């Protein structure tokens, strides 16, 4: 297992020089082109992940913010629609309530796809057409936030949340 800091330190020269010097276990050394576009995605602060010297070697940095409720709804509608499911106002309000009030997490752009994918998997398992229900939302959230004692082990597929 390699820490992010070790990996970034390993790549610092190849990213700048566009070549990588490799040495085999036998001692034979060779040079390879290192023409890569590296994209990092992290929840960590850049200051916690790397030093200023490495940050300078990453020419483009893009910060993403949490979506507004309107943007979250648009993302959720698009993802659900692509999967052939309808996102009713009641279900949307339920998802937002469960995420923000029960689980205590902010709305995030990745959540709609995760929830929809989990609903699809649960519906396939149950042998039914994909449909977003409060029970399947609870299952999805229990898989997404496994540390949350509010959800873990309380709801099974198809069960009605308490």
What is the value of pTM for the model shown? 0.65
User: What tokens does 146 get?
Assistant: 């496994």
Domain of residue 88 covers: 69-144
Question: Rounded distance, CA 62 to CA 152, Å?
Answer: 34
- Are residues 51 and 86 located together in one domain of the fold? no
Give the containing element (helix H, strand E) for 4: helix 4-17
Q: Is residue 16 part of a domain?
A: yes
pLDDT single digits (tens) 32-79: 998 887 777 777 777 777 778 777 777 778 888 899 999 999 999 999
Question: Rounded distance, CA 51 to CA 115, Å?
Answer: 36
Query: Could you give the number of structural domains in the chain?
Result: 2
Q: Is residue 150 part of a domain?
A: no
pLDDT at 118: 96
- Are residues 78 and 114 located together in one domain of the fold? yes
Q: Is residue 64 part of a domain?
A: no
């Amino acid at each position: 297992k390699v820490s992010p800091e070790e990996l970034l330190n390993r790549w610092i020269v190849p990213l700048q020089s566009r070549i990588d010097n490799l040495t085999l276990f036998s001692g034979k050394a060779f040079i390879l082109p290192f023409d890569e576009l590296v994209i990092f995605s992290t929840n960590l602060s850049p200051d916690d992940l790397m030093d200023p010297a490495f940050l300078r070697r990453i020419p483009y940095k893009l910060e993403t913010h949490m979506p507004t409720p309107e943007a979250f709804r648009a993302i959720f509608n698009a993802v659900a629609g692509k999967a052939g499911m309808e996102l009713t106002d009641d279900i949307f309000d339920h998802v937002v309530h469960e995420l923000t009030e029960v689980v205590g997490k902010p709305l995030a752009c990745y959540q709609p796809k995760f929830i929809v994918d989990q609903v699809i998997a649960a519906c396939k398992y149950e042998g039914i057409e994909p449909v977003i229900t409060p029970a399947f939302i609870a299952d999805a959230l229990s898989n997404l936030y496994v540390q949350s004692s509010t959800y873990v082990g309380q709801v099974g597929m198809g069960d009605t949340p308490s």
